[in-house]
Structure 1
Amino acid sequence: MQRLFLLLVFTTIFSSCISNKRITYLQNLPGNEPIGLDEFIPFAEVEYEYILQPFDIVDIDFASSDEELTQAFEFQGSRMMRQGGGGGGVSDMFYFTGYSIDKEGFVELPKLGRIEIGGMSEKEAQKKVQNAINVYFKEDVFVKLRIGGIRFTALGEFNNSGTQVILKNRATIFDALSVAGESNILAKRNQLFIIRQYDGGSKIHQINLHDRSLLASPFYFIQPNDILYLEPMNIRQFGNAENLSSSLGLIISIGSSLILLSALLTRNL
C-alpha cells in the first residue's frame, strides 16, 4: 500500500512539472532564423495601418481660435468627460464621448450629418471630415480624428479575462497580454487563437508566443474587436496555477489517511 501511495505521489508531481520552454516568451525556435539580442527586427512587409470598420468608435475633436465654432460640433458634456477621465471612473470614456460607425460605415456628426468613413484609414477619414467642415465654415477649424481606443476580448487562460480597452491607436500582442493580466502559467502559449474581423466576416488565426519570429508577424499588432483565446494545458484538470499545490496536498493527505487506516486494520487483524 505504501509503495502504491509513493508511486502515486511521484507520478502526480512529475506530471505536474512544466518545462520553462512551455512558458517562456520569444524563444529562438528550431526551423526559424535565429534572432539575437539587440538585433533589428523589421515589422511585417505589409505596413500596419488599421482600416476603420462598422461598429468601431472614433474620437473626433475640433479646434479653432474661435471656441464658439467648435462648440457647435460637440455634444454637451463630452469635453468635460474627456478631461475628467470619463467621469465616475469609467475606463472606456470614448464609448460615451466618441462617434460610433454604423453598419453601413457612416458616422453622424452635429451640423455635418452622416459621413462615410468605414473602409478608410484614420488619415483618410480625418481628411474627409476636414473637407466637410471646410465647406460648412470659411474660418479655420482643425479636425482631429483617431480610433477611440482598441477594444479586444480575452478568453481562456488569462488572469483577467473579459473585454479590455487600450487607449492607443496601435498596440502589440504583448500590450494586450499585459492588460489581460498576462497568460496563466497553465496556458498553451504556443496556441494563442486570434479571431479577427474582416470585411464581411471573420477568420481564426493561431500564433506562437514562444517564437521570436512573432515580432515580424502581421499578428504582432492587435486590431480593434480582436478576440484572443488561450487553451489550457492538460494538467489544468488538477486545478489552476494558484490551487495546484493545494490539489497535490489534498492527494497526499488522502493517501496518508488511507495508509494509516490500512495500518490500523492490519494491526487489529
Structure 2
Amino acid sequence: MRIFLSVILVTFFLSSCVSKKEIFYLQDVDDYNNSPVSYQDITIQPNDILKISVGALVPETAKPYNRNFQGDMRQNSLEIMKLEGYLVSKDKTIDFPNLGAISVEGMTTAQLEEHIRKKLTDEGHLVQPSVTIRILNAKVTVLGEVNSPGTYSFTEESITLLQAIGFAGDLTIRGKRDDVLVMREVDGVRKVTHLDLTSSSWLESPFYFVKPNDVIVVNQNPPKVTSAGYVGDIGTLLGLTSVILSVIILVTR
C-alpha cells in the first residue's frame, strides 16, 4: 500500500513539473510589468476593403463623394458595407468618385485620410472637408491545435496575438506553446516568425499586435509530451499506476 501511494505521489509530482514548463503562458511576465507598449501603424494592402466617409462645411456638397447605402438594414450590415466599400487593387489603388484613381501604396488609413482631404481642398472640390477611413475586412486566421480553428474578423484598429488566439478558443492541451508560427505579408514580402508563448520576450516583438490577414499556426507537441504533463482522467491515472505497480511487484518478488 505504501508503494502504491508513493507511485501516485511521484506520478503527480512529475506531471506538475512538466505542466509548468509546457502549459503556462508568459512565465516571466513580471519582468515586463509597466513596460511601454509600442503601437504600430498598419499600411493598406491589396484586397483591403475601405469604408471612406467624406464630410464638408456644407454637408450636401459632400454627397457626390460618398457611396450611399440604401436603407437602415444596409447601413447596419457589415457584409453589405464590404460590397459597397473601396477594394484596393493589386497595384494598390482605389477608384474614388470625382478624383479618379488614387494610389494608397505605403499609406496608413490616417495618411490616406489626409491625402484625400488635401486633394479635395487643393483641387477646389470641397470647403473644409473631413475624411474618415476604416478597413472593413480585417481578419486573422488561426489554425492547428486550437479549440476553434478558423478565420476571424475584427473591427478594431489592432488586436494582440493573445486576443486572436482567444477568438479561436485558446490552444488545446496538445498545442505547442513554445513554437507558435506567425505568417505575415506586408507590401509583397512574406515574413515568418516563431514565438515562444511561455516566455514574455515576444511582447516587445513586431508580432505582439496582429495585422490584417496574419496566419497563426499552432503545431502539436511531440508524442512524449502530448498530454503536457496532465493526466486526462482518473482512469488513465489508475491504469498508469497499475502498470508501474505491477512492474514493482514483479521486480521485488
TM range (shorter): 0.7 to 0.9
CA contact (8 A) 1:62 1:142 kept: yes
The amino acid that maps onto 1:41 is S
Answering whether residue 86 of structure 2 is matched by residue 99 of structure 1, we say yes
Structure 1 residues 66-215: aligned runs within 5 Å: 66-77=58-69, 80=72, 83-86=75-78, 90=79, 94-134=81-121, 135-148=123-136, 150-215=138-203
For residue 22 of structure 1, what is the amino acid of its counterpart? E
Return closer, same or farther for 1:25/1:94 CA change in 2, 3 Å cut-off. Answer: farther
Q: Secondary structure at the match of 2:119?
A: helix
Match of 1:53 among 45, 53, 62: 45
Aligned to 1:35: 31
Residue in 2 aligned with 1:262? none
CA–CA distance in structure 2, aligned partners of residues 168 and 118 of structure 1: 22
Q: Which runs of 5+ in 1 are unaligned?
A: 1-10, 253-269
1:62 aligns with one of 54, 59, 63: 54
* Structure 1: distance between partners of 2:221 and 2:44: 36
Code of the residue aligned with 2:98 in structure 1: it is: K
Please state how far the C-alpha of 1:198 moved relative to its aligned partner. Answer: 2.6
Q: Percent identity between the aligned chains? A: 27
Q: Please say if residues 122 and 145 of structure 1, whose CA atoms lie closer than 8 Å, have aligned partners that are also in contact.
A: yes
SS of the aligned residue for 2:31 comes to coil
Cα distance, 1:237 vs. partner?
11
* Cα drift, residue 27 of structure 1: 1.0
Match of 2:7 in 1: none
Q: 1:187 to 1:79 in 2, by over 3 A?
A: farther
**Conservation of the 8 A alpha-carbon contact between 1:149 and 1:168:** no
- Counterpart amino acid of residue 25 in structure 1: Y
Work out whether residues 44 and 104 of structure 2, in 8 Å CA contact, stay in contact via their aligned partners in 1: yes
Contact 2:56 2:126 in 1 (8 A): no
Count of residues paired in the alignment: 229
In the TM superposition, what whole-angstrom CA distance separates every residue of 1:68-104 from its partner, at most 9, and x where no partner exists?
A: 3333223332784574243xxx5xx653343221110
Matches within 5 A, 1:233-248: 233-235=221-223
Q: Matches of 2:22 and 2:129 in 1, distance apart?
A: 54
Residues 94 and 149, structure 1, Cα contact 8 Å, conserved in 2: no
**Whole-Å Cα distance in 1 between the matches of residues 106 and 194 of structure 2?**
25
- 1:81–1:97 CA contact under 8 A, matched in 2: no
Matched residue SS, 1:49: coil
The residue number in structure 2 matching 1:25 is 25
Q: Distance in 2 between matches of 1:123 and 1:183?
A: 35
TM-align CA RMSD: 3.6
Looking at structure 1, the residues matched to 136 and 163 of structure 2 have their Cα atoms a distance apart, in angstroms, of 16
| C-alpha separation in 2, matches of 1:170 and 1:186 | 28
Alpha-carbon distance in 2 for matches of 1:146, 1:64:
18
Alignment TM-score, normalising by the size of structure 2: 0.74
Q: Deviations over 1:169-205 (max 9, x none)?
A: 1111122112222222220111110111033331211
Structure 2, unpaired ranges of 5+: 1-10, 240-253
The question of whether the paired residues in 2 share the 8 Å contact of 1:41 and 1:216 is answered with: no
Q: TM-score, normalized by length of structure 1?
A: 0.70
CA distance in 2, matches of 1:219, 1:238: 27
Query: Does the 8 Å contact 1:186/1:233 carry over to 2?
Result: yes
Q: Could you tell me how far 1:19 is from its partner in structure 2?
A: 0.8
